[in-house]
Amino acid sequence: MATVKEKELPLVLVHRPPNFHFPFKHLLQTHFRLLDPLDSDPPESTHSFFSRYAASVRVLLCVDPTPITRDLLSLLQLIVGSSTGVDHIDLQECRPRSIAVTNAGKAFSPDVADLAVGLLIDVLRRVSAGFQYVRAGLWAQNGEFPLGFKSFFSKTMLFFVHFSVKLRRKKPSVPFPWFKNVYDLAVNNDVLIVCCTLTEESRHIISKDVMTALGKERVIINVGRGALIDEKELYEPDVPQELFFLKNVVLSPHCAVATPKCFDALEELM
């Protein structure tokens, strides 16, 4: 039962998977009254829970990429996302309703860059141990070069003698060779690091043609959503199972952002 003081706080509906407990819940509770259907006894479905509070809730806090569909939008004014990608949110339904949608922004960039470089070194030590240098091509989106990658490569990756980037448009502030499309980026580089958001336009952006242009002895590092790559073209017919047995493949769980620094940045942003 909410206290008198808690009832005076703004209401925020929490939307999360059952096995995910966000670490900054207690801090948010000092500023907002959090309504979490999974905290009810017994746990209630998000849809039925929200229907009881729809008239008074204006903000939805989406922890983890939990799908948000049309029937959850109702009278919302704001959806606060805890992930970088927003492909789990029905943006086409949000626009006509004037619902603002936020994401993690650059909160995860430095640690995701660390993992991308770690994966790159891991692969190269197996198949390219004799290389003295590697040219790396990175594809970003929304006209922004990821902060973590820019600082990491410019300060520490001294063995990279060529670095290229694919943005939606050429930017004077980015000091690397620019390519208009991913195919040309693949032709001119040995490594592709994919770190863009998943949209209808970017789905399978790493296609069979791009992989062919990159070549069999080259490397792809994906730190975005899996669907950015047409995985069926990596190995046929059963990609996930077969990849486990390839010596030149490194598989990592979705763990790059599970660091105290990332959670602190996300907490402050949210």
Is residue 254 annotated as a catalytic residue, yes or no?
yes
Does a structural domain hold residue 270? Answer: no
**Given 21, 31, 70, 254, which residue is catalytic?**
254
Residues 151 and 96 placed together within one structural domain of the fold:
no
Residues 182 and 73 placed together within one structural domain of the fold:
no
Does a structural domain hold residue 267? Answer: no
What is the rounded (10 degree) CA torsion for 64, 69, 71, 77? Answer: 70
One pLDDT digit (tens) per residue for the chain, 270 residues: 566 566 788 889 888 887 777 777 888 888 899 888 888 888 787 778 877 887 788 898 888 777 887 777 877 899 998 888 888 888 889 999 999 999 988 888 888 888 888 888 777 766 333 334 444 555 554 445 554 555 544 444 444 444 555 556 777 777 777 778 888 888 888 888 888 888 888 899 899 999 999 888 788 888 888 888 998 887 654 446 777 777 777 777 777 888 888 888 888 888
**Given 236, 242, 267, 268, which residue is catalytic?**
236
Is residue 217 annotated as a catalytic residue, yes or no?
no
pTM for the full predicted model: 0.61
CA contacts within 13 A on the Cβ side of 150 = 11
Give the domain extent around 77: 4-103
CATH code for position 77: 3.40.50.720
d(CA 261, CA 108) in angstroms, rounded, equals: 9
Residues 94 and 135 placed together within one structural domain of the fold:
no
Residues 156 and 99 placed together within one structural domain of the fold:
no
Does a structural domain hold residue 129? Answer: yes
Residues 17 and 94 placed together within one structural domain of the fold:
yes
Residues 114 and 233 placed together within one structural domain of the fold:
yes
Residues 77 and 114 placed together within one structural domain of the fold:
no
Is residue 225 annotated as a catalytic residue, yes or no?
yes
